[in-house]
């Protein structure tokens, strides 16, 4: 992701003032609001909180695409607000996926009215992805749970209760990301699917978010940027 993001940022006329990887985490303290406008953070769940906190405390706006650290996200947002910082988080930066999020909520509202339909989900990602289900799948699940009263929580357990939203998480080589929401009845199945063909869409969205975030204060996501 970092390589894709750098390529697109340069194409759009931005300057890359630094690169930090797992082999050079100590380089983070070289950057502050005087030499950096926005940091784009795509790392690992165990590192994201410290990175976002550092940026907030050092006047660097931060765009974060790391998933799997949501338990500490409220704490990070509090630090951002305390320091009048700027934090943009999304489980998925693809414009298409975020349109899919919007359609997913509308579909849940429609199928809520028809008790003959049950709903379930499936997500497929590359084998290098550490968290399961994906952050995108969790966002989709939350959109369903907010609008479909017959489900109370999501689960990976195939033998769950009828009130649980089942998510099947698969890991296969070289899959950027495929997410499917299925509404099933005894007579038919209706599916909504988003299939990513490459990671370029995610990287482009992250750079657009960084451009949008510069000069703002607060906590934001794709809904604000896209005007939903």
Rounded Cα distance, 84 and 144, in Å = 33
Measured from the Cβ of residue 114, the count of other Cβ atoms closer than 10 Å reads: 9
Enumerate the β-bridge partners of residue 124.
170, 178
Measured from the Cβ of residue 198, the count of other Cβ atoms closer than 10 Å reads: 10
Catalytic residue among 89, 129, 179, 194: 129
Dihedral sign (CA 46, 1, 197, 90): positive
Catalytic residue among 51, 125, 179, 194: 125
Measured from the Cβ of residue 143, the count of other Cβ atoms closer than 10 Å reads: 21
Q: Is 129 a catalytic residue?
A: yes
Angle, CA of 14, 175 and 167, to the nearest 5°: 110
Nearest to 36 by CA among 2, 59, 6, 69: 59
Largest CA distance in the chain: 62
| Active site amino acids | 125, 129
């Amino acid at each position: 992701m970092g390589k894709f993001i750098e390529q697109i940022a340069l194409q759009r006329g931005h300057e890359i003032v630094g690169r930090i990887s797992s082999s050079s985490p100590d380089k983070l303290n070289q950057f502050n609001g005087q030499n950096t406008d926005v940091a784009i953070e795509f790392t690992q769940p165990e590192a994201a909180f410290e990175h976002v906190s550092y940026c907030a405390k050092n006047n660097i706006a931060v765009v974060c695409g790391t998933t799997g650290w949501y338990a500490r996200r409220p704490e990070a947002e509090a630090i951002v607000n305390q320091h009048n910082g700027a934090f943009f988080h999304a489980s998925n930066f693809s414009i298409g996926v975020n349109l899919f999020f919007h359609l997913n909520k509308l579909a849940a509202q429609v199928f809520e009215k028809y008790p003959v339909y049950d709903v379930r989900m499936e997500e497929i990602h590359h084998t290098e992805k550490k968290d399961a289900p994906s952050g995108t799948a969790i966002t989709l699940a939350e959109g369903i749970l907010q609008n479909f009263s017959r489900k109370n929580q999501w689960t990976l357990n195939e033998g769950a209760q009828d009130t649980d939203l089942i998510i099947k998480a698969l890991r296969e080589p070289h899959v950027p990301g495929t997410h499917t929401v299925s509404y099933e009845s005894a007579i038919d199945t209706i599916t909504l699917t988003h299939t990513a063909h490459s990671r370029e869409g995610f990287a482009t969205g992250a750079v657009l978010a960084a451009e949008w975030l510069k000069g703002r204060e607060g906590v934001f996501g794709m809904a604000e940027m896209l005007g939903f």
